[in-house]
A = this chain, B = another copy of it.
Amino acid sequence: MSDQPQSPPELQVSAASHEAIVEPLQLGKRVREIRLSQNLTLEEASKRTGLARSTLSKIENEQISPTFTAVNKLVKGLGIDIPQLFSQPSKSRSSGGRRDITRCGEGKPRATPTYEHEMLASQLTNKKMIPYKTTVRARSFDEYADWVRHDGEELLYVLSGSIRFYTEFYEPIDLAEGDSAYYDCEMGHTLISTSETDAVILWVTA
- How many angstroms between the C-alpha atoms of A193 and B34 in the bound complex? 24
Per-residue CB contact flags for chain A residues 157-182 toward chain B (1 = under 8 Å, else 0) read 10100000101111101011111111
B69 x A68 contact (CB < 8 A)? no
Per-residue CB contact flags for chain A residues 106-133 toward chain B (1 = under 8 Å, else 0) read 0010101110000111101111111101
Chain B residues contacting A202 (CB-CB under 8 Å) are: 157, 202
Known: A79-B119, A126-B82, A127-B153. A67 touches B69 (CB 8 A): no
Interface set, chain A 34-51, CB cutoff 8 A to B: 34, 37-40, 47-51
Residue of A38, A159, A182, A183 ringed by the most chain B CB atoms within 10 A: A182
Per-residue CB contact flags for chain A residues 61-80 toward chain B (1 = under 8 Å, else 0) read 00001111111110111010
Q: Is A83 an interface residue (CB 8 A)?
A: yes
- How many angstroms between the C-alpha atoms of A157 and B182 in the bound complex? 17
10 additional A-B residue pairs with CB within 8 Å, beyond A23-B72, A96-B187, A120-B182: A1-B77, A18-B48, A39-B145, A71-B71, A82-B125, A98-B183, A100-B182, A101-B179, A103-B178, A133-B157
A sample of 19 cross-chain residue pairs with beta-carbon separation below 8 angstroms, ordered by A number, consists of A20-B73, A38-B110, A67-B67, A71-B71, A79-B122, A82-B83, A96-B187, A97-B168, A97-B183, A97-B184, A98-B184, A99-B167, A99-B184, A102-B180, A105-B178, A124-B182, A127-B182, A129-B153, A133-B180
